[in-house]
Amino acid sequence: MSTDWSLVPVPVSVEAVDGAWFTLGGSTRIRTPPGSDEAAAVGGYLAGVLRRSTGYPLPLADAAAAPPDGGISLELVRDDRLGDEGYRLEVTGAAATLRANRPAGLFMGVQTLRQLLPAAVERATPQPGPWRIPGVRIVDHPRFAWRGAALDVARHFFTVDEVKRYLDLIALYKLNVLHLHLTDDQGWRIAVRSWPRLATYGGASEVGGGPGGHYTQEQYAELVAYARDRHVTIVPEVDVPGHTNAALASYAELNCDGRAPERYTGTEVGFSSLCVEEPVTYRFLDQVLGELAALTPGPYLHIGGDEVETLSDERYAAFVERVQRIVRAHGKRTLGWQEITKARLQPTTVAQYWDHRAAGDAVRAVRQGTKLVLSPAPMTYLDMKYDQGTRLGLDWAGHVEVRDAYEWDPATLLDGVGADDVLGVETQLWSETLRSVEDVELMTFPRLPAVAEVGWSPAAARRWEDHRRRLAAHGPRWSAMAVRYHRSPQVPWPD
Ligand code: TNX
């Protein structure tokens, strides 16, 4: 494979069209397929990205009305190799043409097109150009259906605009899931109409004693729509029965002793639990999960289930089985941390592997027929320090350098877990130590693109030496976007 491009994730196949360059100009149009609003919206998204830095008008044209005139074309086709998210991109001297079965594939192809343009294309203000795209023929489609990033908005709160920025950044690397950790001991971040104090009281705190915050349901719907426009599904997590101090502090009746604890702003885990034998707990969960299901177009609700230290396995398992039934009654599937494999799981329930110290949970899950999302802490935990000099982050799973995030294979990570058992991969960004967007970005880049490639690219196309060289070319792209990143010594950054 040629090494002249710096695409991340690396495509299934790239072939040079020798000597050809397509040049974007003041009269370039973006043609979109007739009859698909969704495909036209992808064209609009591409135009929006390119107009800022090129200053060109880049009008959209319906392909049925506008005869081929070179320029950029998006086409819907039928190509069985590509699936729902795959695409073909052909760039010649005369035209750049993206073809896909579905708008999602066009959107993924647009990300590739962006990465073929000079880094300055990512700037927010007009730049001089020239805007040349090298001649290529690319065929590309994802290895795994689930390519996610999780953001902990509970330990420290992040605003709607901050989450939108994160969505923009993960979309650039073809991720298609944003998992929002909406509740934890330190804060409850989503308004629930039937239990209003969760957000107004339980949301008004965070680690370190800051003001916290929460999303109104209107704001949350805005995030869901913003994600949908980027072909990203938001998976909301309400973590139960543990990690619930914010809820317990908001409503005395949720506590076994009927007394509400103080709000909590430290960083210990494992101490809180809902009162799993009380009927009120299940009325609470039915109403909370019902409101969340109504806000969620995607199929999954994440119920957490991690790190419960105050319940026996039997009581814990009975709880999880009951919550699964509630999720199902609201038309959704359950996703939960690997601990939920202690319970009998429904066939549609998915477990998320995170704790390498208890890998047996994952193996037990697949024996039950349960599919896994893989978030092994020593590879995908973006809140781990890169090395001992990292100012932010934790180190309970060790240090996670870029190479650790990159050099592993979901199909061989665990004995007894094969590619067919794996839905995909997901990065985790816990925010105990992260207070600002700058903190979030420093921990996310460059490790998130490394994991994105693990989830998207074929195993045979991945090599660390090649990846680090391609990743290096993204440093200037992040600078153009004013994204902070960690200048890992493992990557040969240009000066
Ligand atoms: C473990 S991962 C947790 C989180 C912490 C994280 C810190 C998981 C399911 N639970 O509560 O924030 O470690 O790295």
| Atom in ligand 1 nearest the alpha carbon of residue 430 | 12
CA of 241 to the centre of ligand 1 (A): 15
Contact partners, residue 485, CB within 8 Å, separation at least 6: 441, 442, 444, 445, 446, 475, 478
| Atom in ligand 1 nearest the alpha carbon of residue 267 | 12
- The two structure tokens encoding residue 456: 């998207």
Residue length of the chain? 495
| Atom in ligand 1 nearest the alpha carbon of residue 375 | 2
Pocket of ligand 1 (CB under 6 A): 269, 306-307, 337, 354, 381, 383, 394, 430, 432
Packed helices 160-171 and 447-456: angle between N→C axes, nearest 10 degrees: 50
Nearest CA to ligand 1 atom 4: 430
The per-residue pLDDT for 58 is: 97
Catalytic choice (38, 75, 222, 307): 307
pLDDT digit string, tens, across residues 427-449:
999 999 999 999 999 999 999 99
Q: Are 322 and 349 in contact (CB under 8 A)?
A: no
What pTM did the predictor assign? 0.97
CA of 396 to the centre of ligand 1 (A): 10
Q: Are 449 and 177 in contact (CB under 8 A)?
A: no
- The two structure tokens encoding residue 306: 């991690």
CA atoms of 113 and 132, how far apart (whole Å): 11
Give the burial class of 97: count Cβ atoms within 10 A of its Cβ; 0-12 exposed, 13-18 middle, 19 or more buried: buried
Nearest CA to ligand 1 atom 9: 306
Q: Are 414 and 390 in contact (CB under 8 A)?
A: no
Tell me the chain's radius of gyration from C-alpha atoms. Answer: 23
CA of 430 to the centre of ligand 1 (A): 7
CA atoms of 93 and 274, how far apart (whole Å): 63
> Does 307 participate in catalysis according to the annotation?
yes
CA of 437 to the centre of ligand 1 (A): 20
- The two structure tokens encoding residue 262: 């103080």
CA of 44 to the centre of ligand 1 (A): 38
Say how many CA atoms lie within 13 Å of 374 toward its Cβ. 30
The per-residue pLDDT for 2 is: 40
CA atoms of 313 and 365, how far apart (whole Å): 16
Nearest CA to ligand 1 atom 13: 430
Print pLDDT tens along the chain (495 aa): 344 689 999 999 999 998 999 999 999 999 999 999 999 999 999 999 999 999 999 999 998 877 777 899 999 999 999 999 999 999 999 999 999 999 999 999 999 999 999 999 999 999 999 999 999 999 999 999 999 999 999 999 999 999 999 999 999 999 999 999 999 999 999 999 999 999 999 999 999 999 999 999 999 999 999 999 999 999 999 999 999 999 999 999 999 999 999 999 999 999 999 999 999 999 999 999 999 999 999 999 999 999 998 999 999 999 999 999 999 999 999 999 999 999 999 999 999 999 999 999 999 999 999 999 999 999 999 999 999 999 999 999 999 999 999 999 999 999 999 999 999 999 999 999 999 999 999 999 999 999 999 999 999 999 999 999 999 999 999 999 999 999 999 999 998
| Nearest residue to 182 via CA among 147, 143, 217, 137 | 217
Q: Could you tell which of 207, 243, 245, 269 is best to mutate to test the pocket of ligand 1, judged by most ligand atoms within 8 Å of the CB?
A: 269
| Nearest residue to 98 via CA among 45, 54, 19, 150 | 45
CA atoms of 118 and 374, how far apart (whole Å): 34
The per-residue pLDDT for 70 is: 83
Q: Residue 125 is inside which H or E element, if any?
A: none
Nearest CA to ligand 1 atom 5: 430
The per-residue pLDDT for 4 is: 61
